[in-house]
Structures are given as C-alpha cells and as structure tokens.
Chains A and B, each alone.
Chain A
Amino acid sequence: MNNTSKSSSFLGLKTYFENKDLLLQFTQREITNETKGSAMGAAWLVLKPLFLLGLYVFVFGYIFDGKFSERPEETQQIHAIGIFVGLNVIHFLADILGTCPRCVVDNSGLVKRTVLPLELLPVSQVGKAGFEFLVTSTLMIVGLLVFGLVPGVNALWFFPLTISLIFLGLGIAYLLATIGVYFRDITQVTQVASMGLLFASAVFYSVDMLKQTPVAWSILQFNPALILIDAFRSTILWNEPLHFGTQLVYYFAFCISTYILGFFVFEKNKKKFADHM
C-alpha cells in the first residue's frame, strides 16, 4: 500500500530500473515459457524466425516474384526480406495485442498475494516481444549480407525507430492490460485488430502502391506501423535518409503519447485490480 505511490516518477522508468532483476527474470520466463519442455528448448528462439525467413524468401522471393520499387538492386531475395521487415514489426505488435489483455488477469495470484510492482507484468510481455523482434532483426541483417546487400549508414536509424516502437508497444500493453481486467472481451477484439493491422500496414505491398489509392492513403497514412515499416525499409534496405517529414514527427509523437497515456491509465487503475479479479 505504500510502495505504489512513487512509481509514477519518470514515467515508470524508475520502477523498471529499481526492479531490473525481477523484470529480467519475468522477461526471461516469458521468453522461455513457450519453448519450455520442448526437446530443443531455447534453440527454437532462433530456429523459428529462421524457418519463417526461409519460407518468406521462398514464397515471396521465388514464387510471387514481386517488387517494391524499380531500384536495380532489389533482387527477389531482397524483396522477400522487405516483406519480412514488415512482418517482424506486425508480429511484435500482434504479440502484444494477443498477450497483454490477459497478462494481469492471468496472474491473479501475483496480483492478490504479492506486492509485486504490477507494471512488470505488461512490461515483461513487451520485453519478450522485443527480444523476439531483435532476434529476427539480427537474422534479417545476416540475410541481407548473405544476399549481397550491405546496409549503409542510414541503417543506424534502426535504433531510434526500434526504441520508439518499444515505447509504442509498452503504451499499448499498459492500455490492454488495464482494459483486460474490466472487460475480458477485449481478447476477441484484439485478435481481429492484429489481423487488420497486418493488412493495413503495407506489409505485402509498397507504400507507393498505396498512394495510388487516395481514399485508403488518406486514412492509412496515419497508421504508425505503416510509417515505421516504410522507414525501416528505406533506411535499411535502400540506405535512404528518412524522408517522411511530418509523418515521422507524427510517428514519434504518437509512440511517446501512447506510452504516456497507457502508463497513466495503468497507474490510475492498478490499485483496483485486486478487487476486480
């Protein structure tokens, strides 16, 4: 009852830092949970994205033979990796959409019986999704090198973009975790939402194609996932500087404000969680 009041300082960053060991353990547990008990164990953490990458390269690189742009350096394989970049982002967000609505509810024991800082529950879920995101990203870079494309200096945008993505994820996680306590149906909604996100984020097509459909573009240009995926592609694959201008400002602002909103909604409600479970 007395350790919760100050955790809102520095937007929760202090809480994460003070409980870093615990956070690490929780995240670790989330990461190993899925592969626990399987014969190959942790190896799946790398194997799964590797197989996926192979599958996408095969299907979208060799069978569909599409292209994002008219650039000469875009080979079939690079095109496949471009799709994979988008999928990686969507997978990260979909993971959060899928797990976070239940992350508080499913841990009623911890909520009711321990004085655990509850922030750790959604944050560890994001940590797990972030970990998988990073593993896949690394594989992707290796893939690029294998297919003969060396990322340029603009690829360093990867880091600020990823950090903002994590904050976006945290904001969504906090919101969903809170809503999940009061309104269990949210799980059903998020399933549909992550599917919608997949199609609305220019994963399988290029942003340029979307711009040719003004009605769709007028709405989807505000989709942060779309902006991010396009930014990843242009900086990493084509070594272009970020050229989005207003949209990019909008993207960063969107991530940070989602985080702040989510965090405060969570903080405001977390004391009541135990009563609702």
Chain B
Amino acid sequence: MLSGNPTTQTSITDTSSVTAINIEGVSKNFKKFTALNNISFEVKRGECVGIVGLNGAGKSTLLQIIAGTLPASEGKVTCNGKVVALLELGTGFNEEYTGIENLYMNAALLGVPKKLINEKLPEIESFAEIGDFINKPVKTYSSGMKVRLAFSLLTQIDPEIMIIDEALSVGDTYFAHKCAHLMRSFRKQGKTFLFVSHSDAMVKSLCDRAVLLDKGVLIRDGLPNDVLEYYSAMISQKEREFEIQQIEKEKGRTVTRSGNGKASIVRFELMDSDSIPRRKFGIGEKVTISCVLEINEVLDDPTVGFLIRDRVGNDIFGTNTYHHKIDIEKMSAGQQIETTFETELFLGPGEYSLTLAAHDGPDHIENNYDWFDRLIVFNVLPDGRPFFSGTSALPSQVTVSKEISQLNRLYSLGDTIDFTDTGNSHRYTLQGWHKPEQNHTWIDGKKASLAIDIEDSGGSVLFMKAHIKPFVTKEQDFQDLEIKGNGITIFKGKLERAEIIEVMIPAKVFKKSPNIHLEFEIPHALSAAECTKNLDRRVLGTALQRLVIESE
C-alpha cells in the first residue's frame, strides 16, 4: 500500500517550473489488450493533477507505472524527487499483527526510521483516531479503520511526490476531510500530487489540472472544470451515440457540447428586459434567455432547460419546461421552437455561465438531444447594496437596538401574535413531532389557556382574529372548539380545516379585569397514541397560528 522509492535522481532547484514527473510516450500492453497507449504529460513541481476516467480506462496501471511497480512496455517515466505511492489500502497489512506492528512494518517499507516512529507515535495515533484498536490485530478492524491506520503514517513521511489511487474514497466524511486537509497542507509545502479520484468535488477543490483517460488514451488534459465537464458529458450517455465536440471559444474558454442530435440548439441569447443582448447585469436584474431548438427527428414533448453555474462549476439554478409543466407536444423533423425563460439574477457579483439543454423527460441522463455547456458567460456586477458574500443575493435587513425586545408575553393591541415560529401553539408539523415545550405548556388535558395583557381599549369594541388549524385524522375529521375569554364564551364552533375566526369580544368580558385570559376548550383533542401506533401521548387539538386582538 505504501511504498517509498528511495531514489532521488537529481537535486532539485527551487523553481516552480521544474518538472516533477515526466511521462513520455508510455504504453502498456498486456497479453490481450493495450492498457495504455502512448501517454505523455508532465507534472510540474508543486502541481496537483487529478486523473479521471471510467473504470478500465488505465488510470491505475498508469499510476503503477509511475510508482515503478509495473514496467512500461514502451516509453519512459522520470520522477524527480522522493516518490511515495499509496496505491491500494490494506496491502502490506498482515491481519494477524496489531496496528502498531503493522505501522512499523509499513514505516520500514516507506523508509521511515523506527526511531522517528517511536517518537511520533502519539501523533500518529491521534491522527488515526482508532483508539485502543491500535493494539489489536488488524483482522478486527473495519475497513474504515484500516484506511485511517494506513493514512496516519502519511503525517510522518516527507515525500516530494505523492501518488494516490482512490485511497480517500474509503472512510467516512470526517476522515476524508481530515485527509483533504492534510493534502492541502502538503500542497502548501510545495509537494507534488498525482491522484486518481472518482469524486468531482475532490478534483475540483484540490487539483490545478485534470487528465482524462479513456481506453488507455489520454483524451483531455486541462483545467479541472473543463476536463470534468467533458467527462460528465462522456458518461451521461453510455451508448456513445452522440459525438462530443469541444470547441475552443473566446479567450481559450472551452465549451462542451454533447447529445444524440435528435434536436439541436440553433440559436440562443441572453438579454435584458428590453430584449437587448448583454453579458453584464446588475444584481436582481430581469433577464430573458431565449433558445431556439430545431427538431431533427420526430419527438414527443421534448424538454428545454437552462442552468446557471458559478465560476467553479457549482450549479446555482436550473429549471426546464418539464418542471414548469409546459407541454411542447409532438414535434416533427425540421420544425423549430423558441423557448423563452425569464428570471431575475439575484446572484452575488461574479462570473457565471449559462448552459442550455434539450432532452427528454426531467433530465438529460436518459436521452440527451443536445447539451450545450457554458455557452454564455456573463457577469453579475455589484450595485449599491451592502457587500455580501456568496452566490445568492438574499434580501436582508439589519436592525440594531439597545432595547432588547421582549419576545413573548407582552402584546399591545392590534399586534399579531404569531405562534408559528416563536410560540408553542404549533404543536405538530408535517415532518413529525417537535420536542415537548420545556418552560411553559399551555395545554392542560383538553383545555388550553393563554393570558394576554391588553392595553386599555378606551371602551371601544374589540375584535379577535385567530388563525386556527385543527388537528384532524381520518377518524376524527373535525375538532369542536370553544373559546372563552375570562370565563365567558366568545366562540363556539366546529373546525374541519385551517380557518381564520373573527369574533367580537363582548364588553362584559372585561368587567372583571382589563386583561384577557383566553381558554380554548377542545373536547375531541387526541394524542397520537390514540389514533396511531405512536407512543406519543401529548394531546393535540388545534394549532393557534396567529392571533390579533384589535379595536375596530
């Protein structure tokens, strides 16, 4: 698994342009097939290169040749610097031996002196985070623990060039993060990385460059975003009935187009609200995206969609005619249709790209007619609004006050009491139960009460408006509700769905007290335990979602 190449071929001068790995025309022939065919590329010192490709593309073979465990049939690989290769996890581990014993063994394989391991053992142990297991035989380990153990040794080695084959894909997210962090810090120290990964996010976030292999041939070498786009286009249709063309566009930017050609995007434009094509917009500006599709074969209800991505290729927003339930109906060959999308660019300042696509059904995985990647690049410019970070421009308001607002309990006349997010009346949600309220419960059996201080209304007539939602089940499809104010009934009725109840509060209610003590009586209130197999015995009647008491 871990292997140290003791050879340091040349002394290294500290220039970033020095070649770390030079691969010249490497081919590898096995008995029946050619695993690699004339691969050539160069990795500069301090560079991080990701190798991507489908299974069987020759990625691992290439890494093995670079690591020196497999001879190339033709060509040459030159490495300048100490190479450490992590090609397979668990190799070299002997199941009968303990973690510590295996650590020493692997350290010896890597050429790490025993003394150093003795000194750094606590550090290694704390990186591995496998606790007491380190003294137990490796056969008792989970696969994740093996990875941790194997990786922990990397903290102690000092390679100039690291070669990693999908090692990070095992292990939990936490450990993967930890390893990615370690790799970043290695990168800061100027170490060179070459790794195979199936994780786009990893390649995007760690690599300066990506190399795409397919059937032993190097087919793309460039910026991770460009290569990954090409790769995803490649895999989106396994049958390969489409051709992929990658066109060099303005300023060396590449555009990927793929699809089976049953329909093609023949015209597209990004315009402002006055239908003038533009590439720079203000935050929140209205834009119109137009896309003309030419049908080449009879198609039933094709889907047209757009996708906005940020500079690093993250999807920001995308939708299509399918999701908007627009039926394009049956189209015959030669017909053209224009689809227009209107949207508002509530995006952070920065560069974005627009992708248009025509396909069948909800997405382009199954049947992709034409996928035109990054065909328009546009900018969102900052405007007068306060600075914010991120790619979304959410409306925001900020208030600072020295008076700390009282959140509950005090209401003045006419205020809406919204129980939905702050109060405790919202006793059930679509997702399930909330945790029981700790400080104040206002349900008591089948009664609920609420005391409200009301400012002197000056003798005017008061009205109560309450937004109430009953808890109903199949068996109990209504709730009877009686609302009493200071003991006097002010409302009585049957609720079947959420309703806004508006009642006048009779003046006699306030005879005894200027405040109002509201009581909600719900005789049919029931708990979940009564109507389902749930064990929750908390009683549910109605959810009081909003309440206003106001004078006329």
> Which residues of A come within 8 Å of B, CB atoms?
1-3, 21-22, 25, 29, 33, 36-37, 109-116, 271-272, 274-275
Contacts and interface: CB of A to CB of B under 8 A. Distances in A.
A22 to B, nearest CB: 5
A28 to B, nearest CB: 9
Interface residues on B, range: 35 or more
A274 B69 contact: yes
Contacts of B65: 1
B104 interface: yes
Given A21-B114, A36-B97, A112 B71 contact: no
A2 B6 CA distance: 10
Interface hub of A2, A21, A109, A271 (most chain B Cβ within 10 A): A2
A38 to B, nearest CB: 11
Given A21-B114, A272-B71, A114 B7 contact: no
B64 interface: yes
B417 interface: no
B105 A115 contact: no
B69 A112 contact: yes
A21 to B, nearest CB: 6
Q: 7 closest A-B pairs (Cβ-Cβ)?
A: A114-B3, A109-B91, A1-B68, A113-B87, A3-B7, A36-B96, A113-B91
B88 interface: yes
B7 A25 contact: no
Interface string B370-391: 0000000000000000000000
A255 B381 CA distance: 83
A114 B96 contact: no
B33 interface: no
A33 B105 CA distance: 14
A274 B88 CA distance: 15
A113 B9 contact: no
Interface of B: 1-7, 9, 30, 64-65, 67-72, 77, 79, 83, 85, 87-88, 90-92, 94, 96-97, 104-105, 108-109, 113-114, 137
B108 A22 contact: yes
B67 to A, nearest CB: 6
Contact of A113 (B7, B64, B71, B137): B64
Contacts of B71: 1, 271-272, 274-275
Contact of B88 (A1, A2, A113, A272): A113
* Residue picked from A1, A33, A37, A116, most chain B C-beta under 10 Å: A1
9 contacts: A2-B5, A2-B7, A2-B79, A3-B5, A22-B108, A33-B96, A114-B2, A114-B85, A275-B30
A22 B30 contact: no
Nearest to B83: A115
A3 B65 CA distance: 13
A275 B70 contact: yes
B92 A109 contact: yes
Contacts of B77: 1
Contacts of B92: 109-110, 113-114
Given A1-B77, A2-B5, A274-B71, 18 more contacts: A2-B68, A2-B79, A3-B5, A22-B108, A25-B104, A29-B97, A36-B97, A109-B90, A110-B91, A113-B67, A114-B85, A114-B109, A115-B4, A115-B5, A115-B68, A116-B3, A274-B70, A275-B30
A113 B96 contact: no
Contacts of A112: 64, 69-70, 87
Nearest to A276: B31
